[in-house]
Amino acid sequence: MLSKPRLIVPLLALLVALLAGCGGGQSGGSQSGEEQDGGGGQQESKKEARETKIAIGNVVSVKPDKRRIAVRPSRQVEGAERVVFKVRKNAEITLGGEKAEVADIAEGQQAQAEYVVKNDVNRAVSVQLFEAEEQPSGEEGTSN
């Protein structure tokens, strides 16, 4: 039971490290900076406003037809309220490391959603679902 949260923390740290490493990969910074300054300054500030966020918790609601899910964060730091996401059409959805669809998401699954906020709507760009470990029932674990 404790292995899942311990697994998520290193995965989360790895994801954050990868995202941080990919952000500054522009070569020829003066040229691309000049191109952006030619009226692109507003676009750059809009991109900065859409910073990527991550929510980790349990899926509490799924509406596949509307591509919406709600996740109750597992950490109190993130708040006790559920977070509702509109899953983008091009969002990467995985279940146990395999490609999945919105219809594969079920209530009670543990999920990690990477999202941006646009027009006050949380838009999931990726959703990682984790298969629940089967808990041994009292009968199975007590055989002689």
The pair phi, psi for residue 16, each rounded to 5°, is -65, -40
pLDDT in tens, 90-99: 999 999 889 9
| Partners of 118 in the β-ladder | 121
User: Can you list the alpha helix ranges (DSSP code H) found in the chain?
Assistant: 3-23, 29-37, 41-49
Residue % of the chain over a pLDDT of 70: 53
Mean pLDDT of the 66-93 span: 86
What structural domains and CATH numbers belong to the chain?
A: 50-134 (2.40.50.320)
Which residue in 63, 58, 67 sits closest to 88, CA to CA? 67
Tell me if the pTM is above 0.75.
Answer: no
